Amino acid sequence: MRRFSQRNSLVTLSEINITPLLDLAFVLLIIFVITTPLLEQGINLKLPPGGQADTRKLDKNDIRVVEISQSGQYMLSGKFMTVDQVAASIISDFRRNPRLMVDVRADENTAHKHVIAIIDRLANAGIEQVSMRTHPKR
């Protein structure tokens, strides 16, 4: 009789309880779902109103987004840079990829001199695909 009881205790110990593992998986899934959109966010901008939304299908590798804050701070790829650093980085990328497009996202209260500064540098380098992003009309 004693052998039989030892055999049952060994059988129950060999089973793995997966409930804690599932709980952990769900918690990690929720954390990633919540934090992923926050990682892609740049400067908090209020874009000026504009026309129709852009419906073209473009490759994300062919687009560089320059964000300009109300105070004139420039951001490219999530990093604050000077206007010369932004222009140099985009020009370098344009030499490797001539299909490159540049989207300029500027706050509606940004002084025009900050927007013109980057557009002028890009135009002098031969980059003609520059787009001003606006908030589409509803």
Q: What is the dihedral of CA 85, 89, 90, 91, to 10 degrees?
A: 100
Q: Is the pLDDT of residue 103 over 90?
A: no
More confident residue, 56 or 73: 73
In the chain, domain spans: 2-39, 60-132
More confident residue, 86 or 58: 86
Give the per-residue pLDDT at 89. Answer: 92
Q: How confident is the model at residue 109 (pLDDT cuts 50, 70, 90)?
A: confident
Q: How confident is the model at residue 106 (pLDDT cuts 50, 70, 90)?
A: confident
Predicted TM-score (pTM) of this structure: 0.58
Overall fold of domain 60-132:
Nucleotidyltransferase; domain 5 (3.30.420)
